Amino acid sequence: MPNYSDIRKKLKVNVSKPEQTELAHLTHFLQTIDNGAKRYFEKEAQNYVLSLQGSESIVEEPWYQGYLPLKWDVPFPPPENPTFKFIDLFAGIGGFRLAFQNLGGKCVFSSEWNHFAQQTYEANFGEVPFGDITKIDEKEIPSHDILVAGFPCQPFSIAGVSKKNALGKKHGFLDETQGTLFFDVARILKLKRPKSFLLENVKNLVSHDKGNTFKVILGTLKELGYNVHFKVLDGKYYVPQHRERIVIVGFDKDVYNGEESFEFPKMPENPPLVVEDILERNVSEKYTLSEKLWNYLQTYAKKHKAKGNGFGFGLVEMDSITRTLSARYYKDGSEILIPQEGKNPRRLIPKECARLQGYPDDFQIPVSDTQAYKQFGNSVVTSLMQDVGKQILKVIQTK
């Protein structure tokens, strides 16, 4: 039985630039070859293999016959006997995918525009996501039971809105590059009609533009024929991080008549983990703040405190939880600093950031620290999303 890693080398699966759709088709085909979704990817996968230099030695009729069954020697292989299908939009590094695969789901389509995130995704799941969702025809997406999407939050986040205002740029739905991507989710829902969906975004989405943005989103989902449930959930009950996010779940009214018995998971009274639980004991000195940066952060904090502002660094307490990890963490690490006896505080290392988002230790990080910080800062708390997924499955697996 050949390994995916061997086939990966032979077929030159290497995410080195954006929009490598040929690799997306190939890996999606290999992942779905044993179910009805393969027809969406087979032709382009075949064309790619035929285009390879020396392909005469690779291609058979059918070309993939010699490869199957395939052993998926990746950290998180597809389940052997899946009980439902889902798609992973704005997939990032696969926080949703990890959660729903753990629940027995088979991912039949993924999309993520950032090719560094694609590298991490492929290293862990053996699949290259498709790129820009705005360029993907919804007709080319396989049927599925659940759509999951963490559509971009920058147009609605407090930090994102403040930055855009300062730069004189538009935000929310007026941000034409990111703010309207919700409607790409809507067009896929309209055509493919999954039984359910799970959307995640920043808490500020609810209050953005005096509530009008969220009103448009809910109205659109209801017009599409979905009964909608939403709640702000805090990741601190799963990881030692204060991370509030709006979670939106919907069910097809044609299937459930708006009568589904869905409830969000109940949060425990006290967070189960503290910062100390996720820290490494021996950390390279390169993560300790320089004198120059540490002095700058202290001066910056004092200046804003004098003005009555809340800006400043976040020096954590070991028996407590952290602030929200953000995609800007790579800049200075200021929101989450770990105190060190006898020397300056340090940043989290990428592995600790992974733990802070609920990822297991065997999750691979094949990118630079800078890219890793961005990726984990943009991720979902995967363990929280898994519990939300459990509640969804209680509904869809009973009908």
Assign residue 250 the CATH number of its domain. 3.40.50.150
Q: Do 118 and 216 reside in the same domain of the chain?
A: yes
Long-range CB contacts (< 8 A, 24+ apart) of 281-288? Answer: 283/346, 283/349, 284/349, 287/346, 287/347, 287/348, 287/349, 288/340, 288/343, 288/344, 288/345, 288/346
Whether residue 13 is contained in a domain is answered as no
Q: Do 386 and 287 reside in the same domain of the chain?
A: no
Q: Which residue range is the domain that position 210 belongs to?
A: 76-269+380-396
Nearest-angstrom CA–CA distance, 265 and 335: 28
Q: Do 192 and 286 reside in the same domain of the chain?
A: no
Surface-to-core class of residue 373, CB atoms within 10 Å of its CB (0-12 exposed, 13-18 middle, 19+ buried): buried
Q: Do 335 and 392 reside in the same domain of the chain?
A: no
Q: Do 106 and 254 reside in the same domain of the chain?
A: yes
Q: Do 388 and 333 reside in the same domain of the chain?
A: no
Whether residue 185 is contained in a domain is answered as yes
- For 101, 252, 254, 389, the CA distances from 261, given in Å and listed in that order, are 23, 13, 15, 14
Q: Do 216 and 355 reside in the same domain of the chain?
A: no
What total number of domains does the chain contain?
2
Whether residue 140 is contained in a domain is answered as yes
Q: Does residue 153 carry a catalytic annotation?
A: yes
Mean pLDDT of successive 10-residue segments in the chain (399 residues)?
89 92 95 89 90 60 67 95 96 98 98 97 98 94 97 52 43 41 91 97 84 87 96 96 96 96 91 94 96 93 71 89 95 95 97 98 98 97 98 91
Nearest-angstrom CA–CA distance, 96 and 272: 22
Nearest-angstrom CA–CA distance, 30 and 44: 12
3-state secondary structure the chain: CCEHHHHHHHCCCCCCCCCCHHHHHHHHHHHHCCCHHHHHCHHHHHHHHHHCCCHHHCCCCCCCHHHCCCECCCCCCCCCCCCEEEEEECCCCCHHHHHHHHCCEEEEEEECCCHHHHHHHHHHHCCCCECCHHHCCHHHCCCCCEEEECCCCCCCCHHHHHHHHHCCCCCHHHCCCCHHHHHHHHHHHHHHCCCEEEEEEEHHHCCHHHHHHHHHHHHHHHHCCEEEEEEEEEHHHCCCECCEEEEEEEEEHHHHCCCCCCCCCCCCCCCCCCHHHHCCCCCCHHHECCHHHHHHHHHHHHHHHHCCCCCCCCECCCCCCECCCCCCHHHHCCCCEEEECCEEEECCCHHHHHHHCCCCCCCCCCCCHHHHHHHHHCCCCHHHHHHHHHHHHHHHCCC
Whether residue 70 is contained in a domain is answered as no
Nearest-angstrom CA–CA distance, 351 and 348: 8
Whether residue 198 is contained in a domain is answered as yes
Whether residue 117 is contained in a domain is answered as yes
Whether residue 218 is contained in a domain is answered as yes
Contact 346, 366 (CB under 8 A): no
The tokens describing 222, both together, are 């209801």
Q: Do 241 and 124 reside in the same domain of the chain?
A: yes
Q: Do 172 and 258 reside in the same domain of the chain?
A: yes
Cross-strand bridge partners of residue 3: 71
**Catalytic residue (one of 15, 153, 188, 354):** 153
pLDDT at 21: 96
Q: Do 134 and 201 reside in the same domain of the chain?
A: yes
The CATH number given to whatever domain includes residue 288 is 3.90.120.10
Whether residue 61 is contained in a domain is answered as no
pLDDT at 54: 60
Q: Do 147 and 161 reside in the same domain of the chain?
A: yes
Q: Do 179 and 219 reside in the same domain of the chain?
A: yes
pLDDT at 204: 84
